[in-house]
Amino acid sequence: MTHAMIDQAMSITHEHLLSIVNTESRRFEAAQRVRLLDIGCGDGQLLIYLARNLPLLNKDLRFDVYGFDVENHGVQKRGFITDTIACLSDEIPEVNWHDRIMSISTNDKWPYPNNFFDIVVSNQVLEHVHDHKLIFSEIHRTLRRGGFSVDLFPLKHYIYETHLNLPLVHRITSWDVLFSFIKGASRMGLGKFKKFHNGVALEEYAIKHADYIFYFTNYLSYREAVYLGKKHKMRISFKYTRELYYRKICAMLGMNKRYIYSRDRIAVMDWLSVMLLKYVSSVTLFLEKDEVYTAQ
């Protein structure tokens, strides 16, 4: 399989998620219908990329992709899900996207039956979730046994918060201190203010972005993510995290892209990698619903 057959991705994270899904889909039987859910599907671009390219990489499987997003979170513009459905319908008209794309409220359970999906994915979503217990519970409920979830997001540990490009800003718990830090750092030329302010006054920029970090981000620590995975009876690891950074290096060097990763893992290397890379940027959370222990 040559990389020329695959559509150009909008981001390295899309390529990374495609590669993981492609790699782990080897567990499914030939001719199986595989249902995939994109949590926080936004404008639908990841869904388009996966829907077009997964059948090229896995010709023996049939992929049905679904997505949902939250209408009342406050980050997306009102009614954006209508635009998402329209975009998907234009790009892949053979699918009835009105049945595949859902809009829910923040505290709603997902509108899908138990054991419905084989794969769940999310891209830079979990750092914006208010109720992580609910989302882990719903991943477990909607995944069938043997299914898996791949969630790409930064943990609380990372040093340089990438929404504002400021160090440790997401660790500040007082709004006043947060506002002062953003304002002072921006005045010194740090972060995104000078590049993206577009005539907005520094005071207004600092207030707006302090609100964004304070109300619309909610970072998990490594320990919290592991606890939630265990609590909801899913095997949890951060394998494939180092592949994301290797892919970034390959992109910078112009090296050929590969869309399959090794499933023969060295667990200690995976663990050491995430222990280091959690301070840099996003990690890859991998969950499997496949508990087999029973008391004798």
Compute the distance between CA of residue 190 and CA of residue 185 in angstroms, rounded to an integer: 5
Last residue of a domain, one of 184, 199, 216: 216
Q: How confident is the model at residue 294 (pLDDT cuts 50, 70, 90)?
A: low
Same domain, residue pair 81 and 224: yes
Better-predicted residue by pLDDT, 88 or 78: 88
Contact (CB, 8 A) for 118 and 144: yes
Helix (H), strand (E), coil (C) string for 152-205: EEECCCCCEECCCCEECHHHCCCHHHHHHHHHHHHHCCCCCHHHHCCCCCHHHH
Run of H or E including 230? helix 222-231
Same domain, residue pair 60 and 173: no
Residue 99 predicted with pLDDT over 80: yes
Same domain, residue pair 77 and 37: yes
User: Residues 150-201: pLDDT tens digits?
Assistant: 999 999 999 999 999 999 999 999 999 999 999 999 999 999 998 766 788 9
The tally of domains found in the chain comes to: 2
Same domain, residue pair 209 and 112: no
Same domain, residue pair 92 and 30: yes
β-pairing verdict for 62-70 and 101-104:
parallel
Provide long-range contacts, Cβ within 8 A and 24+ apart, for 276-280. Answer: 277/241, 277/242, 277/245, 278/155, 278/157, 278/158, 278/222, 279/157, 279/158, 279/159, 280/158, 280/159, 280/245
Residue-range definition of the domain harbouring residue 206: 169-216
In a domain, 294, yes or no: no
Sheet arrangement for strand 117-123: 101-104, 62-70, 33-39, 117-123, 143-154, 282-288, 235-237
Here the CATH number for the domain that contains residue 45 is 3.40.50.150
Compute the distance between CA of residue 207 and CA of residue 180 in angstroms, rounded to an integer: 9
In a domain, 295, yes or no: no
pLDDT at 73: 66
In a domain, 164, yes or no: no
Q: What is the DSSP string of 55-93?
A: HHH-TTSEEEEEEEEETTSSSSPTTHHHHHHHHHHHH-T
Same domain, residue pair 192 and 61: no
Same domain, residue pair 212 and 228: no
